[in-house]
Structure 1
């Protein structure tokens, strides 16, 4: 595993150091339990590959899962052998609340959508302290109302949310606050505090539950694990992998037992039948099983609270002292005080800490042996190409992975994960590096060199951002520790080279250095479904696909230069990647009439539709697709280049021999302060024209960041006619009106953090290339001129503003929901998948803290960085602006 000793001499940082160097297993236990295992591809054994309906929410309480487990506020080991989570019942619900409820893809009027409210408030990277809040209504949960009302609504209607049902009226709900604190690597304490926010006393049945993931039913060798009563308030757990553990509760509470099985006398749903139906014979009177819980009946006074304390450890029941929680909270405060920029304001600090907490809570164990899964479908894995992921039978996954969202996206996505590592590097460089390694490892990377995209279709194509993320994480590590992890970077480079070759060989249809790639993670941004055959025939030359590859070349060139410090053999690799980039730049800018992506009339890049008859035309949609060529702007440290004169000679000779390269690369090459060299796909005139649109508030620049589609299309939709059908793209600032890719996300206008991250990165690099003298109007037409550093900071500030409280206590991310400005809601922040293009309201998945957690990077980076610092120090100056915490080793 990759390691990093970044940090201070504080207690949490020492735990991280021990975890990185295998001195203690501080990461062995964590919040690695999914919040939805039902409805996933792994659990789908249907003949029609309909995962959402094969195992539904309603069936989840009674059917044992195959590949993983789910629960509320869960904790488990890193292989999910044993799980701990919370179940509860308010006395009125028809279902014991053991997992969060949400709509399937077909039930929601805009796709799948969770219908609960919970918040990740705090967490440390070793999970020595974790805190979350779940808001549980005291009235009967409106399952049927949510399903029926959403089914009756169309795409032009708002989603019907839990708050809309009136279930929280008069504050008749519980705040269930769950905290974990580790007294040691193998001793975990839990504190559950139930607050009654309502006007009357209310009852709550609380069932802290422990169970084993069911492996025995699927032929896994080894003895069957067991749970048994070891006293009224103690449960003993025996498992081959984890040994003997004890789960105990403070006070006198009787444990109940059943089996984590679909069938048999004592089944998985026994606690539901025991509590809700009153069936006392549903649980095992012998006090044994593979699933157990303490049955705790709480009476909580109006405005009051009750607390339950639990312990899970490798030693028999001991005292459960609350002083451990106080100590871990103080250590978490110390840790984040050191991690965040000293100049960061209190509101920004709160946002940053909750963003990081959400990311740390969103780790999940991901188990999936694809060959075995195919075999269990009754298929020969070598001849199952028609079955989902049939080409990926080599994949064997049994890892803790940073997930986009543990309910709506309880599986990894390749480009999401790369962005996650940037934010995770703020607090846990070792884990960030390990995550980047994972998808390039032999268990994941396809023999062809393709990175698996996401569970629903590993063969789909996500943007190739792994190389960019790898170099940035390496630089962060180097900035914090004074030296880079050369061995890690070298190993990553070789695997990335395999993936780069896959792109060159598979996604350049004409062999002309213009790339396709498919939907590239942008779902419905285009006129057509870019993963499907085009209704016109032919193919798309994609401005974004080509820009991604240009950035890939630049990132690999940068890594090769870094590696050449210790091994000159990488100079030749650097030369090769420079030439790859040069040919892409020539192809993008080659002037052959309508065959170029650049539209000189509009001053913008567009996709090219290549038709079967050999003709082509631009698809004039002003979107992120045409902005992404900005992202392929990278500055190089002259010291790395100058140490290898033969590299400069080789580059100069190459450029001299190819006049087309000379014209384009010279135009896109800029020498900045202290000899810094900028490579880009465009020259100054094109840059100014693109920036004029990017910074126009009637086009891309919103009060809260950069929109994914220009607001221009609100009045001027783009339309394309094929036969008797018209395809169109307009500006949709909120949820999608298109069913393309299921319709549960929208790239036709909202604000997305990863896109803004790339724009900010590009602007900082361009600033290094052009310096203070290059200014533009920001916003366009305002008369206010800024250099590109100031523009980058302006966009960052607008992004951060999404989450900051207004004078009325509300936050833009909560839209018009007034309850979020009230006392018990206003300090709880959700980090949504994307945000309304005009008012900043949170949309999509409600806990998409993966790439939205990047707001913590923005807030901290610009709190400690000035433009002159960047000019003097280059991009390492940007990284040094992030808090650099001296380690004991370094001192």
Structure 2
């Protein structure tokens, strides 16, 4: 599409990417929970949750970031904007969302407030969310005490369970942001009273500077000062901004300083509004934190609007109608943007799901500041000799970026492999940001000198699956299909960084140097019989089926990238052959017996981890889980043109195979060439594929009505048990929360549906379809008598996943777990995108706002809408997101 024909939002994206117009400079970059994070933990024992709690948060200045309700800030979180509320009954001013700490919740950390992201554009020119705020006193103590008294086998006690929303006695606080220009931000808060009686509310649009002046290496103190026409905000780097609230409202000033540091401190507005302490605020109209105190009386069923602006100059026009015209225009432009983005074949229900999923993805960006060396120094540790301190070996890390978060309350920090999956969904709306995110953790400020990617702030040294190469190539392909050419320079740059990480895996996670890998827990909390990231109770180690499969997929992805780069530089053909050879050795190793056992179980027709014992023997751990399904994901199809374009590569591969009998024996089983001339790489042949699919598509095993389960339902009646001395370790099917505290919190992959694994399975099926074609059919579900091609199976799984979020015949969405209130007028269109989903009924579980990897649901409808198996065969599809339209180069 020509830029003059693009939507207004597409033009803004183009200007941001090509002309450095700072449309992304301001965005929803505040966390929803900065308290209880590692960054703010300076305790001797490293107990982040207790060192700075929710109760402490209102009175202690943060060091590394800020939080707030519906927050906005600049991309360095210098100047922050958010909304505070008081219903006249609560014991505290509502300045941040409430939830339980890891020790308070019966399933770990657990947010209790209800809010929903409804709309967002990638430049944040328009954002909309709604928060449900009760009229009655918020039951803080009840939520803590009742959940603390419940066990892991009990349901969580939620705010809805308290009855506080009875008779609709609550406010819908709708928060909108719209940009009149890159540096001109408009905020509109519409308060709806859903109850049967009039109700009053104190509303505080709040502006403050992040405290960068009270720590080591202090910066000059900025200033907020009352001026005619508003508040002047002056900062030595940011310059001058003006904050104005339309209408008459008193301004309250204080300092963003911890309690006890002076007369005017962080909790001043709480003390002033809730306790009537007028001495808490600065009468001179100066400080580093300011709020306009707006009191509204909202009639039953009525609404009222509060408007504010943050800009480079005082507004020339304070007409509320002119203000609303800008906000409404940006909202209409968001409609135009998504109308052009989404496939016309999508129904209204699917469009709603996709748009809210992407809204959650875009709202969940967060500024992440964390200088590990300075943090270690704050613990009194020498950064160069700090092993034994959390993240001590990562002293080189300096984080100062906007990053896509899994969730801004329960997971307000990046997680390496989550970020790769999130980038795929974000690429649908903002290719530039998606590429930036994939590149970020591979850059010099993040990647360890050894080549390891940092996992997440609780332990950067944990090992996440190496999915970045796969994600990078997928994003590149989407860019290429959308724009006609791919970003070769970006792909080349990321390839070299990925090569460093690949080498780290080979050097550090292959215990015996035999091309079988031991990655550790690999993000799959509670999936195995043992904690796979800890020393085993038997001694020895695990040869991991999933770790080995991840590395096989890594080889395939690096091979794909090298082949693409070789279009412009033939030197990359040598790299391509090297990654092919490494994949071949992994394929050989998967079949090889070690200690008397191999990963593939011929009797079960499934892959399993191998427990390698100190005496040199080994035994399979026959737990049918994602661990054994992931080898299915290590499959990639390469175009038919590969042979004609790179004959020397094909000759080199053929020579390599012929010179190594073990490799030749593996690849003679049909693992190289597909049915239509494509080159297919996989860890299995057709016979094994059919056996894996028997279990995958069995509704009494992996195939749920709502996608692929993380553990086979077979283990409901047949739990696996393993005895070590007097202790029995067990794994049983648990479709909801786990009863095991192996990883603490709500970590659980013992039955629920989890989106990243489903994406990888769907991708594998589509690649396999390209290789095997329409002649290859299987029963789906197993035993049903219904025959499907692998493309049809992929579409069936996709449809089941989307069904989680769509209203059923009775109007309820499975994700809401049968809660009646979600069928009512003001809740029915609000969707949560949870961390994972009940393996039998699709109810949302885990983190309630995990729009991160679950945001992948936005991918499926758009991929499959109007797409047929013939399209895939015609295009030699190399991944889930590859367009059904050929590029001009491929047609030629």
Q: Note whether the superposition's TM-score is higher than 0.5.
A: yes
Match for residue 283 of structure 2 among 285, 291, 298:
285
- Determine if the alignment matches structure 1 residue 772 to structure 2 residue 774: yes
Cα contact 1:381–1:393 (8 A) shared by 2: yes
Separation in structure 2 between the aligned mates of residue 876 and residue 599 of structure 1, nearest angstrom:
29
The CA deviation string for residues 609-664 of structure 1, in whole angstroms up to 9 with x for no partner, is 00001111000000000000000000012323432211111111110111110111
Separation in structure 1 between the aligned mates of residue 788 and residue 656 of structure 2, nearest angstrom:
37
Match for residue 323 of structure 1 among 322, 325, 347:
325
SS in 2 for 1:558: helix
The CA deviation string for residues 71-117 of structure 1, in whole angstroms up to 9 with x for no partner, is 00000000000000000000000010000010000000010000000
Please report how far the alpha carbon of residue 254 of structure 1 lies from its aligned counterpart in structure 2 after TM superposition. Answer: 1.2
Separation in structure 1 between the aligned mates of residue 630 and residue 760 of structure 2, nearest angstrom:
8
- Determine if the alignment matches structure 1 residue 240 to structure 2 residue 219: no
- Determine if the alignment matches structure 1 residue 813 to structure 2 residue 815: yes
Separation in structure 2 between the aligned mates of residue 254 and residue 883 of structure 1, nearest angstrom:
58
**Residue equivalent to 1:112:** 109
Separation in structure 1 between the aligned mates of residue 420 and residue 356 of structure 2, nearest angstrom:
20
**Residue equivalent to 2:122:** 125
Separation in structure 2 between the aligned mates of residue 7 and residue 758 of structure 1, nearest angstrom:
37
Please report how far the alpha carbon of residue 516 of structure 1 lies from its aligned counterpart in structure 2 after TM superposition. Answer: 0.5
Please report how far the alpha carbon of residue 736 of structure 1 lies from its aligned counterpart in structure 2 after TM superposition. Answer: 1.4
**Residue equivalent to 1:889:** none
Q: 1:108 and 1:437, CA in 2 relative to 1: closer, same or farther beyond 3 A?
A: same
- Determine if the alignment matches structure 1 residue 159 to structure 2 residue 178: no
Match for residue 756 of structure 2 among 754, 774, 780:
754
Q: 1:641 and 1:410, CA in 2 relative to 1: closer, same or farther beyond 3 A?
A: farther
Separation in structure 2 between the aligned mates of residue 266 and residue 70 of structure 1, nearest angstrom:
20
Q: 1:199 and 1:670, CA in 2 relative to 1: closer, same or farther beyond 3 A?
A: same
**Residue equivalent to 1:294:** 292
Separation in structure 2 between the aligned mates of residue 6 and residue 151 of structure 1, nearest angstrom:
56
**Residue equivalent to 1:259:** 255
Q: 1:668 and 1:118, CA in 2 relative to 1: closer, same or farther beyond 3 A?
A: farther
Separation in structure 1 between the aligned mates of residue 341 and residue 330 of structure 2, nearest angstrom:
16
Please report how far the alpha carbon of residue 676 of structure 1 lies from its aligned counterpart in structure 2 after TM superposition. Answer: 1.2
Separation in structure 1 between the aligned mates of residue 887 and residue 147 of structure 2, nearest angstrom:
49
SS in 2 for 1:764: helix
Greater CA drift, 218-227 or 579-588: 218-227
**Residue equivalent to 1:99:** 96
Separation in structure 1 between the aligned mates of residue 747 and residue 237 of structure 2, nearest angstrom:
40
Cα contact 2:562–2:572 (8 A) shared by 1: yes
How is 1:337-352 mapped onto 2 (pairs within 5 angstroms)? 337-352=339-354
**Residue equivalent to 1:651:** 653
**Residue equivalent to 2:860:** 858
- Determine if the alignment matches structure 1 residue 679 to structure 2 residue 677: no
Q: 1:876 and 1:650, CA in 2 relative to 1: closer, same or farther beyond 3 A?
A: closer
The CA deviation string for residues 556-601 of structure 1, in whole angstroms up to 9 with x for no partner, is 0110000111111110101100010000000101256842100000
Cα contact 2:713–2:751 (8 A) shared by 1: yes
SS in 1 for 2:788: strand
SS in 1 for 2:435: helix
The CA deviation string for residues 24-81 of structure 1, in whole angstroms up to 9 with x for no partner, is 1000000000000000000000000000000000000000001000000000000000
The CA deviation string for residues 781-816 of structure 1, in whole angstroms up to 9 with x for no partner, is 000000000000000000000000123221000002
- Determine if the alignment matches structure 1 residue 73 to structure 2 residue 70: yes
Q: 1:604 and 1:7, CA in 2 relative to 1: closer, same or farther beyond 3 A?
A: farther
The CA deviation string for residues 669-706 of structure 1, in whole angstroms up to 9 with x for no partner, is 24336521111000011000000000000000000000
**Residue equivalent to 1:562:** 564
**Residue equivalent to 1:48:** 45
**Residue equivalent to 2:694:** 692
TM-score, scaled relative to structure 1: 0.97
Please report how far the alpha carbon of residue 879 of structure 1 lies from its aligned counterpart in structure 2 after TM superposition. Answer: 4.0
**Residue equivalent to 1:508:** 510
- Determine if the alignment matches structure 1 residue 742 to structure 2 residue 739: no
Q: 1:83 and 1:641, CA in 2 relative to 1: closer, same or farther beyond 3 A?
A: farther
**Residue equivalent to 2:520:** 518
Please report how far the alpha carbon of residue 763 of structure 1 lies from its aligned counterpart in structure 2 after TM superposition. Answer: 0.3
Please report how far the alpha carbon of residue 845 of structure 1 lies from its aligned counterpart in structure 2 after TM superposition. Answer: 0.6
Q: 1:857 and 1:6, CA in 2 relative to 1: closer, same or farther beyond 3 A?
A: farther
Separation in structure 2 between the aligned mates of residue 5 and residue 63 of structure 1, nearest angstrom:
51
Cα contact 1:341–1:882 (8 A) shared by 2: no
Please report how far the alpha carbon of residue 741 of structure 1 lies from its aligned counterpart in structure 2 after TM superposition. Answer: 1.2
Separation in structure 2 between the aligned mates of residue 170 and residue 883 of structure 1, nearest angstrom:
52
Cα contact 2:709–2:752 (8 A) shared by 1: yes
Separation in structure 2 between the aligned mates of residue 196 and residue 594 of structure 1, nearest angstrom:
69
Please report how far the alpha carbon of residue 10 of structure 1 lies from its aligned counterpart in structure 2 after TM superposition. Answer: 1.0
How is 1:207-246 mapped onto 2 (pairs within 5 angstroms)? 207-231=204-228, 234-246=230-242
Cα contact 1:8–1:338 (8 A) shared by 2: no
The CA deviation string for residues 738-772 of structure 1, in whole angstroms up to 9 with x for no partner, is 11111312100000000000000000001011000
Match for residue 309 of structure 1 among 282, 307, 310:
307
- Paired positions, count: 882
Q: 1:882 and 1:143, CA in 2 relative to 1: closer, same or farther beyond 3 A?
A: farther
Separation in structure 1 between the aligned mates of residue 708 and residue 215 of structure 2, nearest angstrom:
49
Cα contact 1:107–1:151 (8 A) shared by 2: yes
How is 1:83-98 mapped onto 2 (pairs within 5 angstroms)? 83-98=80-95
Cα contact 2:638–2:878 (8 A) shared by 1: no
SS in 2 for 1:869: helix
Cα contact 2:515–2:586 (8 A) shared by 1: yes
SS in 1 for 2:847: coil
Match for residue 33 of structure 2 among 36, 54, 57:
36
Cα contact 2:212–2:219 (8 A) shared by 1: no
Q: 1:239 and 1:223, CA in 2 relative to 1: closer, same or farther beyond 3 A?
A: same
Please report how far the alpha carbon of residue 438 of structure 1 lies from its aligned counterpart in structure 2 after TM superposition. Answer: 0.1
Separation in structure 2 between the aligned mates of residue 182 and residue 573 of structure 1, nearest angstrom:
47
SS in 2 for 1:868: helix
RMSD: 1.6
- Determine if the alignment matches structure 1 residue 61 to structure 2 residue 63: no
Separation in structure 1 between the aligned mates of residue 5 and residue 233 of structure 2, nearest angstrom:
37
Separation in structure 2 between the aligned mates of residue 660 and residue 782 of structure 1, nearest angstrom:
39
The CA deviation string for residues 843-883 of structure 1, in whole angstroms up to 9 with x for no partner, is 01111111101111001111131000001112169645479
Separation in structure 2 between the aligned mates of residue 580 and residue 432 of structure 1, nearest angstrom:
29
| Unaligned runs of at least 5 residues, structure 1 | 887-891
Q: 1:571 and 1:883, CA in 2 relative to 1: closer, same or farther beyond 3 A?
A: closer
Separation in structure 1 between the aligned mates of residue 886 and residue 248 of structure 2, nearest angstrom:
48
Cα contact 1:736–1:743 (8 A) shared by 2: no
4+ runs of 1 displaced by more than 3 Å? 4-8, 219-222, 591-594, 876-886
SS in 2 for 1:555: helix
Separation in structure 2 between the aligned mates of residue 670 and residue 577 of structure 1, nearest angstrom:
14
| Unaligned runs of at least 5 residues, structure 2 | none
Q: 1:879 and 1:619, CA in 2 relative to 1: closer, same or farther beyond 3 A?
A: closer
Separation in structure 2 between the aligned mates of residue 574 and residue 536 of structure 1, nearest angstrom:
40
**Residue equivalent to 1:479:** 481
**Residue equivalent to 2:181:** 184
**Residue equivalent to 1:664:** 666
Separation in structure 2 between the aligned mates of residue 668 and residue 104 of structure 1, nearest angstrom:
52
Separation in structure 2 between the aligned mates of residue 340 and residue 316 of structure 1, nearest angstrom:
38
Separation in structure 2 between the aligned mates of residue 424 and residue 877 of structure 1, nearest angstrom:
16
SS in 1 for 2:761: helix
SS in 2 for 1:446: coil
TM-score, scaled relative to structure 2: 0.97
Please report how far the alpha carbon of residue 885 of structure 1 lies from its aligned counterpart in structure 2 after TM superposition. Answer: 13
Separation in structure 2 between the aligned mates of residue 378 and residue 264 of structure 1, nearest angstrom:
26
How is 1:695-710 mapped onto 2 (pairs within 5 angstroms)? 695-710=697-712
Please report how far the alpha carbon of residue 164 of structure 1 lies from its aligned counterpart in structure 2 after TM superposition. Answer: 0.5
